Homo-oligomer: A and B are copies of this chain.
Amino acid sequence: MLFHVRMDVHLPRDLPPEEAAEILAREKAYSQALQHSGKWRHIWRLAGEYANFSIFDVQDNAELHEILTGLPLFRFMKITVTPLLRHPSSIREDDS
């Protein structure tokens, strides 16, 4: 089941650089593991913004929530979730 997620990141100025670097490294590893598993289908950067649009493919709302709240950057993010489905004009076999 697909979800569209927008994530806006706001790192506080007083976050120590080493702590920030450590969080960002964990975030990248976390994201890439989920991409390899197929659950995090797409991730794109928005031009000029510290933000991304992502597509998740999960079992249900609970799994989506578990993934999002597990993000190392979660407490520094504003997250907007939109449930998706296959569009009747789509030419793809699956709904990706």
A31-60, CB < 8 A from B: 31-32, 35-36, 42-50, 52-53, 55, 60
User: Count the A residues whose beta carbon is within 8 Å of the partner chain — how many?
Assistant: 48
19 pairs, CB–CB < 8 Å, chain A vs chain B: A4-B46, A13-B75, A28-B88, A36-B91, A42-B55, A42-B96, A43-B90, A44-B55, A44-B86, A47-B61, A47-B68, A48-B64, A50-B69, A52-B87, A60-B85, A61-B83, A61-B84, A65-B85, A81-B83
Q: Are A84 and B5 in contact (CB under 8 A)?
A: no
Q: Are B46 and A83 in contact (CB under 8 A)?
A: yes
Residue interface bits A12-44, CB-to-B below 8 A is 1, else 0: 110000000000000110011001100000111
